[in-house]
Structure 1
Amino acid sequence: MENPARLQKAGRRDRSSPDLPRLLPALLLSLAMPASAMAAIDFSRDIQPILSENCYHCHGPDAAKRKGDLRLDDEKAAKSGSTILPGKADESELIKRIFSHDPEEVMPTPKSNRKLTEAQRQLLKQWITEGATWGKHWAFTRIERPSVPAGAKHPIDAFVRAKLAEQKIQPSPRADTATLIRRLSLDLIGLPPVQDTEMGRHGDAESPSQSAKPPVSASVESVALAKDSSLSASPRLSPATTASLNYEKEVETLLSSPHFGERWAWDWLDAARYADSNGYQGDPERTMWPWRDWVVQAVNANMPYDQFTVWQLAGDLLPKATIEQKLASGFNRNHMINGEGGRIAEETRAENVMDRVETTGTVWLGLTMSCTKCHDHKFDALTQRDYYGLYDVFNQTSEDGKGRSGQAAPAMDMSTPAELDRSRKANAAVNKIADEVDAFELKKFPRPEGKPLTESAAFELPGNLPAYIAKTIPRNRGVDPLLEAVGYFKDKDPAYTKLLQRLLTAQREKASASSAVTKVMVMDTLPQLRETFILDKGAYDKPLTTKVSFNTPSVLPPLAKDASRDRLGLAQWIISRDNPLTARVTVNRFWQSIFGIGLVKTAEDFGVQGETPVHRELLDWLAAEFMESGWDVKHLLRLIVTSETYQQSSQFTVQGSQLDPDNRWLARGPRFRLPSWMLRDQALALSGLLNAKLGGPSVKPYQPEGIWEEATFGKKTYVQDHGDSLYRRTLYVFWRRIVGPTMLFDGSTRQVCAIKATRTNTPLHALVTLNDTTYVEAARVLAEKVLSAPGDDHQRLRQAFQTITSRAPKPEELVVLQKQLPKLRAQSAQDAAKLLKVGEAKADPKLAPAEHAAWTSLCLMLLNLDEVLTKE
């Protein structure tokens, strides 16, 4: 219930009024409904969420679990008896049950742990009294473009301002220019504005920071824009102002930046569950990075989203498919691969097919398909047959589920001459050392001439060693057998152990070279299609007799009559103008990336259990605009960032905290902590260390020792890269699936599809941002630049602050920094040498170590300011 002050603000009576008992039902009804719905109850918005949350579990789509032969998710079934009698609420069994005080009759039952509020009961009663008008779930209705409300020039602002007016909430003023430009740069390219273009790094010419020029993360115009006092004084952006023209020019500059694709590829890699290894025990490497680079290139080229979709779901099925189109189909091979010992190949293959169904359902349809592999959905009108209708279309690739390779067929060879040469040399090295081992074993394990080792003492060794040694020639021994043999003979035969260790090292290099030969797993289609049967409870080895063929969920528009019955037909159905979900789901994710929360909060679920959007008309308008613009992603983002809604200050107000704490009405700009990958990129960019190279194999920057070894029982060793590779964007960091990059937090595991970022707030994050090698090194290099520039402490403090925050410091902030600097100088005197050795970039020997260390600490402190860690 709202407090009296809020009720009075909304034009309602104070709860202390003597008329309250008489007005209580109406008051409760009004509280249960959005302000926009006071005049009419909307089934999809107001009624269905109540039924879905409290009734569908027992009386919903799942026929096997339905109780009392009562169905409330279907209008015909719900109104067939006396359950719902339109216009006769008091005679309707539904109303009798929900108002009952008898624990044997009341619904929901006490055992269900569900309970209707008084407001919800009154709303259901009012709905039936008014005729129980039914409706289709809002997300399953065809997308139609709503009329834009009057009152604002920009369509987004028109919708938002209309809702704010209904709620009697005032929009926030425009953000100050420095904040706005930083926000824009971080949103569009994932990097902060780099205004410090004149300070160059001094020191060794071979330093990584010398050979890698920092990227232009924001254009030269942004610097001028930030200094435009007339713009800063303007509370709103107006299309008629010069400032607005500058802002729009800045938007275009960032949209055309090569770093645009890198920023927006990240979200897609999370959704696509991209990684550089298979996962599970052993976690073999894979070489899917050419697919990752294709995504960056496609996003930079502003490939229409419908084409982007078709290529990834069915690029190999396009007429005369190109290498690029086949490469794009690697989307469906990004799943984990379970190659553990004793694993049944068909089980792995079936799970991979299921992963494709569920990923496709989440990414493009926003549906929780995983429920239906075992039974009909309990809430949405999705059946088990619907699931296996989609399963069938992904069940026709030649993948067999065998082995543990990260390059399992079908795969496309994209190897380079250098990779092939490395593999050839590694094979030769193994053969050479294997011959030496073979010769040694002829003497160590004597046997009759011409007889195998099985007739020697090697066959009497304990454990698995007879199979590893007596039954396997040296060149065919793998890493695991050799590890066991080395451990056994370590204290028994040092000479033999040394040979086995050399063979182990050579076999590791052979395996590494082989897996590093670039082969990208892609999709294909069997010449003879598999039959698909519904699986009992999703068990791969328990097919039922019900045979199914490809079809789309029956609750959604059907396939076109002339559609091909394959993945290409599925892809074309997904991007059809009649599909009610794809554009809504996609637009919502872009909005979520910009504002921190989608117009639909449940970005992964657009079913009846998902949230009904506050700004439903805005979502539909954007979805229609997205499709009718030719699925133009840059056009969509341009629309969002040029709106006044986006450009508002993110300042939290008292009114906002009371009326809209989560900013769902959009009365202020977005504000939330930057994702950890963006924090790392920001530190590298601000220091000038960032290597702006696009694409290529994944890199291995700084990482604490022993992490991989601990997670893989010593079978995988992390070998750090050096030079420019240390300073690549986080997008290119090697991602081992069972233990992701150690410098990241709140990130996806990349084990399954993830379209909603986790955002927590814990002091443990500072262990990374204050102590990780990359952050300390970035602070050290930035401090060197500050000290190498002319000026006194005051000027240097201003420069350091403005470089890192993208704004000039306030006088009181400078006072704080000036007081802190002497303390840092005193603290750094003893630890200077150690601090200046952090990272590979060499420190300038011309600078006094203690002074350099003090400014390093100061820059690191600034990198950890709340406003630097946050998108304001």
Structure 2
Amino acid sequence: MMFRSSLLVAMLILTAGARPVVAAEPPVDFSREVLPLLSDNCFHCHGPDEKGRKAKLRLDTREGAYRVKEDVAVVVPGNSAKSELVKRIFSDDPDDMMPPPDGVRKLTPAQRQTLKRWVDEGAKWGTHWAFVPPTAKPAEPTVKNQAWVKNGIDRFILARLEKESIPPQSEADKARLLRRVSLDLTGLSPTPAEIDAFLADKSADAYEKLVDRLLASPRYGERMASDWLDIARFADTHGYQMDRFRPMHAYRDWVIKAFNENLPFDQFATWQLAGDLLPNATKDQRLATAFNRLHSQNEEGGIVEEEFRVAYVVDRVNTMGTAFLGMTFECTRCHDHKYDPITQKEFYSLFAFFQNIDESGQTPYFTGSMPVPTMLLSTDEQDAKLKELDEAIRAREKDVATAKGQATGMPLAKWLEAGPQPPSDIPGTIAHFTFDEIDKNQITNRVDPKSVGKGSDNPVLVDGPNGKAAALSGESGFTFPAIADFSRVDPFSMSIKLRAGELAERAVVVHKSRAPIDAGSRGFELLLESGQVAFGMHHMWPGNSLKVRTKDRITKDAWTTVSVTYDGSSRAGGVRIYIEGKPAELEVIQDDLWKDITYGGDEPDLAIGFRFRDNGFRNGQVDDFYVFNREITALEVEAITGKANTPVASRFRAVDGKPIDSSLTDYYVNTIDPKVIEARKALHAARKAQSDFINPIPEAMVMKETRTPKPAFLLKRGNYDQHGDPVSATTPAVMPAFPADQPHNRLGLARWLTDPQHPLTGRVTVNRLWQQMFGRGIVETSDNFGSTGAVPSHPELLDYLTRVFIDDYKWDQKRFLKYIAMSATYRQSSQPSAEARAKDPTNLLLSHMPPRRLTAEMLRDQALSSSGLLVEKLGGPSVKPYQPAGLWDIAMGRPKYDQGKGEDLYRRSLYTYIKRTVAPPAMLTFDAADRSYCTIKRQTTSTPLQSLTLLNDVQVVEASRKVAERMIAEGGPDDASRVKYAFRLITGRQATDRETTVLVAMLAEQRALFAADRKSAEALLKVGESKTAAKLDAAEVAAGSVLAQAIFNHDEAVMRR
């Protein structure tokens, strides 16, 4: 015993005199500690942007940082004393110190020490953490408090908390947990019945069953869509100055459906980026590509179309970069990125993926049609009918072919025996203008004297090939009212003699349309394009059109007869152009016309020589203008041109009596044979039936790849008209190489993005879903994973979750959200411990659930739901709930806000009509995105206006009245029970005794006030369109309404804890 005691004393003495063992400080992490400092403070002047770089010094590359120039080394690994970088950041000399003293960037003493220690530790270089693929799932750390852990998430969170000696919180009470997870997964607070059911369920898996039920609810898709529509910049108007309506709710419906059906995220992303390029793409896959078209689009007349087309493509690149890569690409439109290794050339290589669609930079104002390219939003029943109509057209086309074949036998032979002559009067001629005389600014139609042409801007007559001709200035010409009101299924022809004094790049000869860009060229047009004759028919240029052009040019200053015939097929192959009576070889510019070329009754005049906001036929002359209401034949074209002078007999072989050429046979078959004529009438009727059926079917903007990629260039300073070097579609060098087995189009890009080893897509998606559940991402800057963004608070957890999401869950978002919801981390109480307040005041380490304010949509939906007003109808067009009067008066054209009626007033906020230039004010008050650009994370503000909105907004006041009615009808016989009922109805928990006492007193006070002022009570009850329940005392309902308004403003109602 003496020995043991002596030994113990000795040990105590030795122990008391020993120094405590201090754990070695881990080395500085370049990616997470050094690179952000260099990026924030140095890269602006010494980063990737070559043009903005100063002193030719780069600090974003190993070579630049280790540079030695004139015996001065920027960084000497292991020796901070000899490193110019360290000397400069510690210098007090204004001429030497870095960052410069007159700049906004400053290093703290701790940051300087970090950089110094990094150099002394060897200045180990590395790659920004976000560009390093999370190739393997990190091992779950060991923790002491095993009992708290429910899944892998908790081990990573708890390991960090235990390191900081901060205890995690225990699980929140059931009522609060129910409200939390209901709001996070469905956007709606639970009903009293749902609360009662969950509280009554004592089973071990009660919470898991709750999570499963919420994820299976249709409301889940609406909740998820709310965040995604911010990302997709979805709105109900085009934006810019005109900001007119565009019905794109079909895309929103698809998003809701995709979430509810749990479309894996890799497919969710692929469909939106490139669904149209998938093999045998479905309607849903094509519709999903509207994601790329939801940017603002300009309708303003007189804009430069190409400038805005470029702007649209730029927006697509920026949106893709933010949504899927968590990168900011905006600045690289004009120059190399100042902070991240993304060059301007690489930006335009991404640009090349997104520009290959037939679109216009100006949205047509005069038609109100959806900007092309589009797809039909037909129902299954309509699709079946369209298939039937298309089959009928094909059958009638076969009938015509059969009739033509039969006509070339005996009927043709008998006709030839009669000795036919070249046609003189051509059937179907509806107009012939010779321009021989202008009388009172009118010219005569030789076919119908009552149908005259009218001069515009004083056209003059000059000597022509046959008498007089009209000389045009480019601004002057003629209009021909009520002539040539042809649809796309009507065969027609026209012919005109013209003389071009110059072969301009573009000259309008004949047209029937309101404008080119402003009307999408709807109608038909005959143009000269650098001397080539072009004919087009358009529903909306360039995506719903047909256009052909002659390969040869006409001769300058020579009179030329140009004739065009069209067969009513809506195909480019149905157009023939004749030059001097001979068929011209044509090139097809566009061949995708499937909706009508008319304006629905308000048709423009046929015109020659000029067009609104277009290049007219300057220094041109015209004569002998014909219009026919049928497709004339080649022989008839020859007759018009004056070339059909060859004797008919010489067109036949004497041996067998067959035609030498096909023109005479064609003439007989198409103008003489009765069976062919009848078959063609039936074909026209079938085409018209199809056209009449398809025209009213709405459309949605989508992507539709052009047959060949458009040339792409680096645009100097981002200017649309300053082309630099050509570029091809590929991805930035700092990211994984583009897969060799994928096409260099949007589909290849989507597959590159969703490659399981891509360093960004999975992390960005996981981080955003984490943000949805916790209010803050593991990377707080969820829209910026670049070097200026925040570093992950739990980097290993982020990589772990990324691999779980991709490898284990196969991009399954519902399963992943359940994984988060089931964790002890998510289920914690929101009440911080004393240790957490002291050591982690911002709750970065998640020692408790971060409380946060409800979103704008959740607040309004909560009011509607608790009041019983909410209409839970899924999908459909946007609705217009209450809005302050006159708000739209500031918008261009002072459009009228037609407030909705009935259930439209009570739909979920997801369906609220969003006008970009005048977004819903109550929504903006609570920080809703205006949808002008891609938004990953909304800002959160706290303003007096928010409380005023919850007190005075019509929707809230009306909801408060309905809560009061429910309180009276269902809350119980006395004030205390009614107050408790209303409080629980809105907040989801029981009121405390103190809260009950305060609210009971308030109710009594308001009852007395309204009893003395019944006029005010009745006025309050009239707010909103819903009716107050019969036989209820006005003062009682009004008092209850004010009580409900107060509860809606209560912290428990506004916050999710």
Q: Do these two structures clear the TM 0.5 threshold for a shared fold by scoring above it?
A: yes
Deviations 1:417-451 (CA, angstroms, capped at 9, x unpaired): 999xxxxxxxxxxxxxxxxxxxxxxxxxx999988
The structure 2 residue matched to 1:769, chosen from 947, 950, 955, is: 950
Q: Map residues 621-640 of structure 1 onto 2, 5 A cutoff.
A: 621-628=800-807, 629-640=809-820
Aligned twin of 1:113: 104
| Larger mean Cα displacement after TM superposition, 531-540 or 105-114 | 105-114
Aligned partner of residue 534 in structure 1, secondary structure:
strand
Aligned twin of 1:407: 370
Aligned twin of 1:750: 931
Counterpart Cα distance in 2 of 1:698 and 1:627: 35
Aligned twin of 2:726: 547
Q: Map residues 722-801 of structure 1 onto 2, 5 A cutoff.
A: 722-744=901-923, 745=925, 746-789=927-970, 790-801=972-983
**Closer, same or farther: CA 406–729 of 1 in aligned 2, 3 Å:** farther
Structure 2 residue 376 is matched with structure 1 residue 376: no
Aligned twin of 2:188: 191
Aligned partner of residue 700 in structure 2, secondary structure:
strand
Aligned twin of 1:206: none
Native 8 Å contact 2:133 2:758 kept in 1 = yes
Aligned twin of 1:854: 1039
Counterpart Cα distance in 2 of 1:105 and 1:780: 69
Structure 2 residue 275 is matched with structure 1 residue 315: yes
Counterpart Cα distance in 1 of 2:268 and 2:185: 19
Offset at residue 120 of structure 1 (A): 2.0
The structure 2 residue matched to 1:659, chosen from 839, 848, 851, is: 839
Structure 2 residue 25 is matched with structure 1 residue 72: no
Structure 2 residue 125 is matched with structure 1 residue 134: yes
| Larger mean Cα displacement after TM superposition, 249-258 or 107-116 | 107-116
Aligned partner of residue 706 in structure 2, secondary structure:
coil
Counterpart Cα distance in 2 of 1:76 and 1:647: 48
The structure 1 residue matched to 2:788, chosen from 598, 606, 609, is: 609
Deviations 1:298-341 (CA, angstroms, capped at 9, x unpaired): 00011000000000000000001111110111110111001212
Native 8 Å contact 1:407 1:515 kept in 2 = no
Native 8 Å contact 1:594 1:670 kept in 2 = no
Native 8 Å contact 2:324 2:753 kept in 1 = yes
Offset at residue 657 of structure 1 (A): 3.3
**Closer, same or farther: CA 97–320 of 1 in aligned 2, 3 Å:** same
**Closer, same or farther: CA 153–342 of 1 in aligned 2, 3 Å:** same
Give the structure-1-normalised TM-score. 0.80
Offset at residue 267 of structure 1 (A): 0.5
Aligned twin of 1:279: 239
Deviations 1:486-522 (CA, angstroms, capped at 9, x unpaired): xxxxxxxxxxxxxxxxxxxx99xxxxxx999631000
Counterpart Cα distance in 2 of 1:142 and 1:416: 44
Counterpart Cα distance in 1 of 2:696 and 2:758: 41
Amino acid at match of 2:773: I
Aligned twin of 1:223: 196
Q: Larger % of helix: which?
A: 1
Native 8 Å contact 2:169 2:832 kept in 1 = no
Q: Map residues 229-628 of structure 1 onto 2, 5 A cutoff.
A: 244-404=204-364, 405=368, 407-414=370-377, 518-544=698-724, 546-628=725-807
Native 8 Å contact 1:284 1:406 kept in 2 = no
Aligned partner of residue 985 in structure 2, secondary structure:
helix
Counterpart Cα distance in 1 of 2:206 and 2:819: 16
Deviations 1:760-806 (CA, angstroms, capped at 9, x unpaired): 00010123211112111111112112212352222222211211111
Native 8 Å contact 2:273 2:292 kept in 1 = yes
Amino acid at match of 1:173: S
**Closer, same or farther: CA 415–90 of 1 in aligned 2, 3 Å:** same
Counterpart Cα distance in 2 of 1:473 and 1:244: 80
Offset at residue 64 of structure 1 (A): 1.4
Native 8 Å contact 1:287 1:515 kept in 2 = no
Native 8 Å contact 1:337 1:406 kept in 2 = no
- The number of residues matched between the two structures is 730
Native 8 Å contact 2:297 2:363 kept in 1 = no
Structure 2 residue 1001 is matched with structure 1 residue 819: yes
| Larger mean Cα displacement after TM superposition, 251-260 or 399-408 | 399-408
Deviations 1:38-89 (CA, angstroms, capped at 9, x unpaired): 3221111111111111111111111112222221111123224221111222
Q: Map residues 668-707 of structure 1 onto 2, 5 A cutoff.
A: 668-707=848-887
Q: Map residues 7-46 of structure 1 onto 2, 5 A cutoff.
A: 38-46=25-33
Amino acid at match of 1:249: K
Offset at residue 264 of structure 1 (A): 0.6
Deviations 1:196-238 (CA, angstroms, capped at 9, x unpaired): x5xxxxxxxxxxxxxxxxxxxxxx4x4233357xxxxxxxxxx
Q: Larger % of strand: which?
A: 2
Native 8 Å contact 2:272 2:288 kept in 1 = yes
The structure 2 residue matched to 1:156, chosen from 149, 153, 157, is: 153
Offset at residue 158 of structure 1 (A): 0.6
Offset at residue 122 of structure 1 (A): 2.1
Amino acid at match of 1:808: Q
Counterpart Cα distance in 2 of 1:721 and 1:415: 25
Offset at residue 348 of structure 1 (A): 1.2
Aligned partner of residue 64 in structure 1, secondary structure:
coil
Counterpart Cα distance in 2 of 1:477 and 1:347: 22
Offset at residue 110 of structure 1 (A): 2.2
Structure 2 residue 96 is matched with structure 1 residue 123: no
Offset at residue 757 of structure 1 (A): 0.8
The answer for unaligned runs of 5 or more in structure 1 is 1-29, 198-219, 229-241, 420-445, 457-466, 482-505, 508-513
Aligned twin of 1:83: 74
Amino acid at match of 1:785: R
Native 8 Å contact 2:169 2:833 kept in 1 = no
Aligned partner of residue 738 in structure 1, secondary structure:
helix
**Closer, same or farther: CA 820–351 of 1 in aligned 2, 3 Å:** same
Counterpart Cα distance in 2 of 1:554 and 1:406: 41
Structure number with bigger Rg: 2
Deviations 1:7-35 (CA, angstroms, capped at 9, x unpaired): xxxxxxxxxxxxxxxxxxxxxxx9xxxx9
The root-mean-square deviation of aligned C-alpha atoms, in Å, is 2.8
Counterpart Cα distance in 2 of 1:758 and 1:718: 28
Offset at residue 406 of structure 1 (A): 6.0
Deviations 1:177-213 (CA, angstroms, capped at 9, x unpaired): 1111101100110000101x5xxxxxxxxxxxxxxxx
Offset at residue 108 of structure 1 (A): 2.0
Aligned partner of residue 125 in structure 2, secondary structure:
coil
Native 8 Å contact 1:416 1:518 kept in 2 = no
The answer for unaligned runs of 5 or more in structure 2 is 1-21, 144-148, 383-439, 443-449, 458-474, 486-512, 519-600, 603-693
Amino acid at match of 2:771: Q
**Closer, same or farther: CA 718–472 of 1 in aligned 2, 3 Å:** farther
The share of aligned pairs that are identical, in percent, is: 46
The structure 1 residue matched to 2:162, chosen from 160, 165, 168, is: 165
| Larger mean Cα displacement after TM superposition, 81-90 or 724-733 | 81-90
Counterpart Cα distance in 1 of 2:258 and 2:777: 24
Aligned partner of residue 63 in structure 1, secondary structure:
coil
Offset at residue 571 of structure 1 (A): 0.2
Counterpart Cα distance in 1 of 2:168 and 2:480: 75
Aligned twin of 2:418: none
Structure 2 residue 900 is matched with structure 1 residue 721: yes
Offset at residue 414 of structure 1 (A): 1.5
Counterpart Cα distance in 1 of 2:906 and 2:97: 64
Native 8 Å contact 1:286 1:515 kept in 2 = no
**Closer, same or farther: CA 847–530 of 1 in aligned 2, 3 Å:** same
